[in-house]
Amino acid sequence: MVAQRLDGKACAASVEDELHDRISACRSAGVEPHLSVVIVGDDPASHVYVNSKVKACERLGIKSTHISLPEDSTESEVREVIQRLNDDTSLHGILVQSPLPSHMDEEALTDLIHPGKDVDGFHPENLGRLVQGRLDGMLPCTPSGVMRMLQWAGIDLSGKQAVVLGRSRIVGNPQALLLGAKGADATVTIVHSRTNNAQAVCAQADIVVAAIGRPEMVRADWIKSGAVVVDVGINRVDDDSRERGWRLAGDVHPEVAQKAAWLSPVPGGVGPMTIAMLMENTVRAAEHVVAQ
């Protein structure tokens, strides 16, 4: 068996297509969707991510403001920027690019973002709504992008055994909640670093979502024949055969393509979906203002 490709790039393009009309409707109502992205420091990967988000805004005609602060900014300076953006009624989404420099309390700062402008979906109010099974708010972009991609591919989750590898606040935990939510209806197991025999647990699953940040750890013998495998991992690994000396690797080994029915590629899988869902959350926030 060779797995079908869960093509996040194509799915993201279809999400963007659907957003065009919604953005036009906002504009007609006098509201220009506007995302503000805050980045602190010089982490090169973060700058690449921010540029992709700004480019997506440009493609869609969403206004974007890019605020870049020096690495040695204080936490209270970042706090002031967030407060100013919260008070600015001309913008609808605020994103603080992770990671922040180590001298800052990242969770405390993202908690300051107004929940209605929290387009990353990390505010306790938005995550709390998800825990309550209310899926109409700001959902975290990566897990909701995974759900959209599975739906787009016509993969039925109802009654299936799903394993989520990882339990982070931004990916693993919300992913497990979304897979097990009413409407999706999978039966979900979470695997984390203390799980006994993760391989055997994973090998029972019809659906596997890997979000552990361990390059190519999920091998073919972790996967049931015909399973659906979504690779969230983005890891840089050394590769002397490349001019730049590294390549991107997921959390899933490429040999899994010989066993799974579906597999999302890295890059070109979950990454573009995360950005597409960020755009959708920004449009949703602007629509909320139109409706007021």
Question: Which one of 43, 72, 105, 120 is the catalytic residue?
Answer: 120
Gap between the Cα atoms of 79 and 61, Å rounded? 28
Contact assessment for residue 163 and residue 197, using Cβ atoms and an 8 Å cutoff: no
For the CB of residue 232, give the shortest distance to ligand NDP in the complex, in Å: 4
Which CB atom, from 72 or from 107, has the smaller least distance to ligand NDP?
107
Active-site residue, 97 included: yes
Which CB atom, from 213 or from 288, has the smaller least distance to ligand NDP?
213
Which CB atom, from 145 or from 289, has the smaller least distance to ligand NDP?
145
Instruction: Name the residue whose CB lies closest to ligand NDP.
Output: 168
DSSP 137: S
Chain mean position to CA 10: 16
Gap between the Cα atoms of 233 and 226, Å rounded? 21
Question: Which one of 9, 21, 42, 53 is the catalytic residue?
Answer: 53
Q: What residues form DSSP beta bridges with 209? A: 164, 230
List contacts with ligand NDP (CB under 6 A).
Answer: 142, 165-168, 170-172, 191-195, 198, 211-214, 232-235, 270-271, 274
For the CB of residue 28, give the shortest distance to ligand NDP in the complex, in Å: 32
Q: Return the residue matching tokens 């999978």.
A: 186
Pair type for strands 262-263 and 4-5: parallel
Active-site residue, 175 included: no
Gap between the Cα atoms of 92 and 288, Å rounded? 9
Question: Which one of 21, 55, 87, 97 is the catalytic residue?
Answer: 97
CB atoms within 10 A of CB 55: 12
Which CB atom, from 92 or from 167, has the smaller least distance to ligand NDP?
167
Gap between the Cα atoms of 73 and 79, Å rounded? 10
Contact assessment for residue 111 and residue 271, using Cβ atoms and an 8 Å cutoff: no
DSSP 227: -
Which CB atom, from 36 or from 175, has the smaller least distance to ligand NDP?
175
Active-site residue, 161 included: no
Q: Catalytic amino acids?
A: 53, 97, 120
